[in-house]
Each structure stands twice: as C-alpha cells, then as structure tokens.
C-alpha cells in the first residue's frame, strides 16, 4: 500500500537564528493570511496528482507555531476534505517562545499528534550563542503543556558541536532532555552554512574542534542508547514505535508533496521544488523541475543513512534485481575498519560510519553498475 506524505513549509520566524539557512523571514500579520490562502490554493491544485492515501502531514519551517494554531487547523482540515487522509501522523514544529495554551488547544483540536521542538542546548551560555531567547525551563513547560492536552509524541532537537560545548555540557543537555520524558530526539551537528551569521563569524565562535565533535556525537549515541532511545537514522533517535513516519518517507525514497517556498516534492517519479521566493509563491507558485527521482543511486544513498541500512530484499522488490556485488565488495574495506556491518543481504553503517557517511556512501555508489 503506497502512502504519500505532505510537507507544508512555513517561512516565518520571529527572529532568524544565526546558524539557520532554512528559508524564513519575519512576516507582517497580513502576510500570514495571504500565505494561508496561497497554501490552500496550492493544495487544491495538486490534489489531482495524489491518488494514494496520505498518512503524514508535516509542518516545518521557519516556525510553524508562529503561523498560528487556527491557520494550521485550516490547512489540516483542507487536506482532510480534499485528500484521502488516513491514520495520519501530523507533526508541527514549534518554537517554545510561540507556544501557549491557546495554541496547544487549537493544534490538538486540529488533529495534530506529534510535536517537534528545537531545544538545541540546555546550557544557557550555549543557548545564547545560538541566539535562543528563552531558557531551557521554558522548553520543559511547553512539553508539559502538550502532554497535558494529550499530545505526548514529542521530539526535541539537540545540537552538537555548538559554541562552547564540551562533553560535560553535552551531558547536562542530554540529562535535561531525558528529564522531559519525551519520545524522540533529533541530534544533529552544527554545520556552517553560507549566508548565515555563523558562517561569517566562524573564526570567533569558540567551536569545539573536529575530534571533539566526533566524540560528542558518539557520546550522544551511546548515552541515548543506554536510556532506551534507539538510533534509526544518522541524527534521529526514538523510543520504540515513535520513529518519525514522515521523515522516514524521505529516507525510504517514498513520495511526498512539499508546499511553500523552498519546499521539495517527489511525486510520480519526478522531483521538483518551489523557489525560495515568498512573493512568487503567493502570486503564482511555479514548480522548478529537479530531475527524476528514486533511481538506484538515490535509493542507496538514502537507505545508508538508516540504521537498518541497505537491504537487498527491499531493493529487489523495488528494482527487480539484486544490489551489485561490487557495492558489497567496496563495503568490505569499511567493514574491516569497523565502520559498518556487512552481511550477505545488507549493509548498515554504524555510528562511526555515519560520521564518515559522505566518504563511505560516495565510495559505495561507485560500485553501482
């Protein structure tokens, strides 16, 4: 049974975080309304292209919580009325600073059942360096609020390799995360992206060195494993059964519709996206073709991000042939270096391998016929 996901990009933020290069800006109130209209129109336009059932909706950003609960509710009910929504995981990314009881209630009413919040760090000095206004306690309050209203599938983001971070300070952040009693954690490494404030001031950021960042990552994997959070992707950890179904679609090379400027779609074998331009999306959303998707290379590249790894069985059912033996042959070297687990039927990177995934994946892809 093929299921499709829908991603809605909310390009609004109260303030831009200095490390973030996702498309967002500070809107005027009426821009939020015109954006809502544009999103609904766009959903209307694409419904013909999606005949399969829709089982995930994901509001990402930007800051969806800053878009307002009522507008989110309208989008969801539009999808409900126009698409075959079934047993859906509906996630909304939230920023603690824009979460209050009113928002939580309207999200709950709208059917939202999963929340993803950026905590990044629980250590004040690090939070400040990351441009986070609120303190860690505010995050916890929000978590409690969601739980109080019956949303307990909550994910928090943790950043690794941020300014001033040490193994000890990371331990504090992880302790704090665990004390929030949540189901899912995304732990990703700070990457300096061009056109961000961090990129321009990188010399003065007091960033931990490369070796330390590696240690921080391994420390996180180990600690979370001990606490019952299973790693299922390079940067994602969940209590059993709480993996993000929407994000898994990306890594399983399944299809999805992405609405909003900078949102990417993979529909009917084609990839396309809407340009990072709010005005053009409001006036006439024009998708830019991004080539065919879902070929062997893409599938392998994405599968190797997952802990379950690349499985010949899945590959075969999709491509009607076995994975090239050359891929396995190339994997041997890395297996000997202790970077992945190799069996007759699968290749799965471990956490040391994830750290080197670009090198490993590009090398393995050379084995594809």
Partner 1 sequence: MAKKKENIRNFSIIAHIDHGKSTLADRLLELTDSVAKRDMSAQILDDMDLERERGITIKAHAVKLNYKAKDGEEYELNLIDTPGHVDFNYEVSRSLAACEGAILIIDASQGIEAQTLANTYLALDHDLELVPVINKIDLPAAEPDRVASEVEEIIGLDCSVAPRVSAKTGENVAQVLERIVADIPAPPVAEDNAPLKALIFDSVYDNYKGVIVYVRVVQGTLKAGETMKMMATGAEFNVVEVGYMRATGLEPCKELSAGEVGYITASIKTVRDAKVGDTVTKLQNLASEPLPGYRKVNPMVFCGVYPADGADYEALRDALEKLQLNDASLSYEPETSGALGFGFRCGFLGLLHLEIIQERLEREYNLDLVTTVPSVVYKIHLTDGETVEIDNPTNYPEQAKIDYCEEPITNAHIYAPSDYVGTIMDLCQDRRGVFKDMKYITTDRVDIHYELPLNEIIYDFFDALKSRTRGYASFDYEIFEYRRSSLQKVDVLLNGDVIDALSFIIHSDKAMGRARKIAEKLKEHIPRQMFEIPIQVAIGSKVIARETVKAMRKDVLAKCYGGDITRKKKLLEKQKEGKKRMRQFGTVEVPQEAFMAVLKLDDNN
251 counts as binding partner 1 under rule CB under 8 A = yes
Helical residues (DSSP H) of 83-191, grouped into ranges:
101-110, 124-129, 136-148, 167-179
Among 199, 250, 275, 350, binds partner 1 (CB under 8 A): 250
217 is a contact residue toward partner 1 (CB under 8 A): yes
Length of the chain: 369
Nearer to partner 1 (CB atom), residue 41 or residue 189: 189
**Which alpha helices (H) appear in 180-228, and where do they start and end?**
197-200, 210-226
* Segment interacting with partner 1 (CB under 8 A) among 33-41, 137-145, 183-191, 219-227: 183-191
Residue 185: strand pairing partners = 156, 237
Q: How many residues bind partner 1 (CB under 8 A)?
A: 45
Task: Centre a 10 Å sphere on the Cβ of residue 206 and count the other Cβ atoms it contains.
Answer: 10
> Cβ of residue 133: shortest distance to partner 1, in angstroms?
23
Interacting residues with partner 1 between 229 and 248 (CB under 8 A): 234-235, 247
Smallest separation (angstroms) from partner 1 to the CB of 156: 15
Which is closer to partner 1, CB of 145 or CB of 213?
213
Distance of alpha carbon 313 from alpha carbon 321, whole angstroms: 9
- Number of H-type helices and E-type strands within the chain: 16, 15
Whether the CB-CB separation of 228 and 174 falls below 8 Å is answered with no
Two tokens, residue 189:
């490494």
279 to 298: interface string for partner 1, x by CB under 8 A: -----------xx-x----x
Min dist CB 144 to partner 1, Å, is 26
CA distance 186 to 217: 12
Give 6's strand partners.
Answer: 57, 257
Contacts with partner 1, residue ranges (CB under 8 A): 7, 9, 22, 60, 188-189, 191, 210-211, 213-214, 217, 234-235, 247, 250-251, 256, 258, 262-266, 271, 273, 290-291, 293, 298, 301-302, 305, 334, 337, 352, 354-359, 361-362, 365
């Amino acid at each position: 049974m093929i299921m499709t996901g829908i991603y809605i990009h909310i390009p609004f933020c109260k303030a831009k975080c200095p490390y973030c290069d996702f498309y967002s800006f500070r809107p005027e109130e009426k821009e939020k309304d015109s954006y809502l209209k544009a999103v609904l129109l766009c959903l209307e336009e694409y419904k013909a292209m999606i005949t399969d059932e829709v089982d995930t909706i994901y509001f990402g950003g930007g800051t969806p919580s800053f878009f307002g609960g009522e507008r989110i509710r309208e989008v969801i009910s539009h999808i409900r009325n126009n698409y075959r929504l079934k047993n859906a995981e509906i996630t909304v990314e939230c920023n603690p600073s824009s979460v209050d009881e009113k928002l939580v209630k309207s999200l709950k009413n709208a059917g939202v059942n999963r929340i993803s919040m950026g905590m990044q760090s629980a250590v004040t000095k690090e939070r400040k360096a990351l441009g986070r206004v609120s303190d860690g306690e505010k995050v916890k309050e929000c978590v409690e609020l969601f739980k109080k209203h019956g949303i307990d599938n909550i994910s928090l983001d943790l950043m690794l390799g941020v300014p001033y971070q040490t193994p000890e300070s990371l331990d504090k952040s992880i302790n704090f995360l665990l004390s929030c009693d949540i189901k899912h954690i995304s732990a990703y490494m700070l990457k300096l992206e061009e056109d961000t404030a961090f990129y321009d001031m990188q010399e003065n950021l007091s960033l931990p060195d490369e070796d330390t960042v590696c240690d921080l990552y391994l420390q996180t994997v180990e600690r979370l494993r001990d606490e019952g959070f299973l790693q299922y992707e390079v940067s994602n950890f969940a209590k059993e059964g709480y993996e993000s179904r929407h994000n898994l679609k990306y890594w399983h090379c399944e299809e999805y519709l992405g609405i909003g400027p900078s949102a990417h779609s993979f529909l009917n074998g084609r990839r396309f996206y809407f340009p990072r331009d709010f005005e053009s999306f409001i006036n006439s959303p024009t998708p830019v073709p991004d080539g065919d998707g879902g070929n062997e290379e893409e599938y392998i590249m994405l599968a190797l991000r997952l802990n379950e790894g690349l499985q010949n069985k899945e590959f075969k059912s999709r491509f009607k042939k076995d994975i090239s033996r050359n891929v396995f042959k190339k994997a041997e070297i890395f297996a000997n270096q202790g970077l992945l687990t190799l069996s007759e039927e699968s290749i799965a990177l471990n956490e040391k391998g994830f750290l080197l995934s670009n090198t490993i994946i590009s090398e393995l892809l050379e084995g594809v016929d």
